[in-house]
Amino acid sequence: MAKARAIVKRLKAVKNIRKITRTMELIATARFKKAMDRATEAATYTRKISELVADLSKSAMTFTHPLLQAHPEEKHSILLILTSNRGLCGGYNSGVLRMAQRRMKEAQSPAAVELGHVLQVEVSGKRGLNFMRFQQRPVSESYTHFEDRPAFEEIEKLADRFIELYVKGKLDRLDVAYVQFHSIARQNAVVETLLPVGQLAIATRGSAQKSETEKQENIEYEFVPSAKEILEEIVPASFKARLFKCFLDAAVSEQIARMVAMKGATENAGSMIGDLTRNYNRARQSQITSELSEIIGGAAALE
Amino acid sequence: MVGHKDLRFVLVTPEKTLIDQQVESLRFPLFDGQMGVLPGRAPLVGRMGYGELQFHEASGVRSFFVDGGFVQIKSGVVTVLTNRAIPVAELKRPQAEDQLRQANTRPAHTDLELAAKARDIQRAQQMVALAKRSS
């Protein structure tokens, strides 16, 4: 009797959990769609910026910008880690943190320490903060207000601070560890160097083929002011757009990771319910059989 | 080369594409003054200033406050890339005045800070002027 009842209890618990994970999956799906829409809308801006850069660089061959120049010595660097505020999203956070740790180890290697390399770690998301606390690693800045809808205005503030530090020479390298979004089926954790801005590598992913077609039509533009001055303004703008894109990618990937994790959890709960139901039926049956045999045995003893 | 009789206007911010439609004409601030565009404009790339972007469409005139950025005119399409674009009707006068006050009272010592301060003052002034007109 006791066994069957214990199974019933567990069965109920598993059914409840399945309900919850199923709901979470649906919520994650809805959020993913929203985040995805935002990301696709934002892609227009980055695509246009890189198109402009391609147009401009044709007419201004030589030009320099403080953000484009790598500093001769790499002493101060910042690693920005984008994690989620909430858990239950599979390997999302651990993937990012693994990549981030690799970069942190690199900065702590004897060769880097000899050069006086200082790496500051900035973390966005409670999950990453908890991890750093566990590792007892100091975190210089922490953000928890970037949910699944990062606003450009907030990221601009961040970007402005990085630009200022870099121009003043207080920052020599900026890396961002986040989960890059390729497609619904493929996202991978990466550490990307955003500063110094690679040699006109402003053309972001996915825009490469687009700018190819643009190159064919050669249009004589009128530049107001000169192409050089516009490029100088465009470099920080494109850096901001790239940083924003990192946040958007991270938001989209988080929802996908949660969606997949919750889908798996729901399926597991389903198969567990099947197993438990079978076990329960078996336990009940054997209980009935034993009760029957007891009655029959008792009746036989009376005769 | 010439022959684009209509004019398409695309307003893009980092977050989304706000407007993508046919217009009759438009006017926006460049870094050194206003600029107007009519159909058939020659290709241009420019740096924008702060202030009012106004365009005429079939149903009337609409205007936005734009926060710097770039403009690209190519084959009958005007693309404006800006960090922020706020419909003028949605500008809040007290907020704008507050920003102006903050920009005015901010201490600035280095050249960079001074330039940033001047830029912020100019932006806030434009916002206040537009907010005043719409209210």
Superfamily of domain B7-88: F0F1 ATP synthase delta/epsilon subunit, N-terminal (2.60.15.10)
Q: Taking all residues of chain B, what is their mean pLDDT, rounded to a whole number?
A: 87
Mutation to test the A interface, candidates B11, B50, B72, most A Cβ within 10 Å: B72
User: How far does Cα A184 stand from its chain's mean position?
Assistant: 13
Q: What is the pLDDT of residues B96-126, one digit of tens each?
A: 888 888 888 888 888 878 888 888 888 888 8
Copy the structure tokens of residue B29: 């601030």
Kindly list the structural domains of chain A, giving each domain's residue range(s) and its CATH number in brackets, ordered by start: 2-31+262-297 (1.10.287.80), 46-258 (3.40.1380.10)
Q: Which residue of B has its CA nearest to A49?
A: B81
Strand ranges, E, within chain A: 76-82, 118-124, 141-143, 173-183, 186-195, 222-224
Q: Does A154 touch chain B (CB under 8 A)?
A: no
Q: What is the pLDDT of residues A112-148, one digit of tens each?
A: 787 788 889 999 999 999 999 999 988 998 998 887 7
Residue A227 confidence (pLDDT): 81
Q: Residue B2: which pLDDT band, with cuts at 50, 70 and 90? A: low
What is the torsion angle, in degrees rounded to the nearest 10, for the CA atoms of residue B86, residue B89, residue B93 and residue B98?
-10
Query: Are B70 and A220 within 8 A, CB to CB?
Result: no
Sketch the domain layout of chain B as residue ranges: 7-88, 92-134
How far is the C-alpha of B18 from the C-alpha of A152, rounded, in Å?
Answer: 14
CB pairs under 8 A between A and B: 85
Contact B28, B35 (CB under 8 A): yes
pTM of the full structure: 0.85
Residue A222 confidence (pLDDT): 86
Q: Using a CB-CB distance cutoff of 8 angstroms, which residues of chain B are in contact with residue A230? A: 45-47, 70
What's the Cα-to-Cα distance from A268 to each of A219, A263, A271, A303, rounded to whole Å? 59, 9, 5, 53
Residue A214 confidence (pLDDT): 46
Residue A16 confidence (pLDDT): 96
Query: Are B14 and A151 within 8 A, CB to CB?
Result: no
Extract the residue ranges of chain A whose pLDDT is less than 70: 1-2, 60-62, 199-218
Residue A218 confidence (pLDDT): 67
How far is the C-alpha of A242 from the C-alpha of A176, rounded, in Å?
Answer: 11
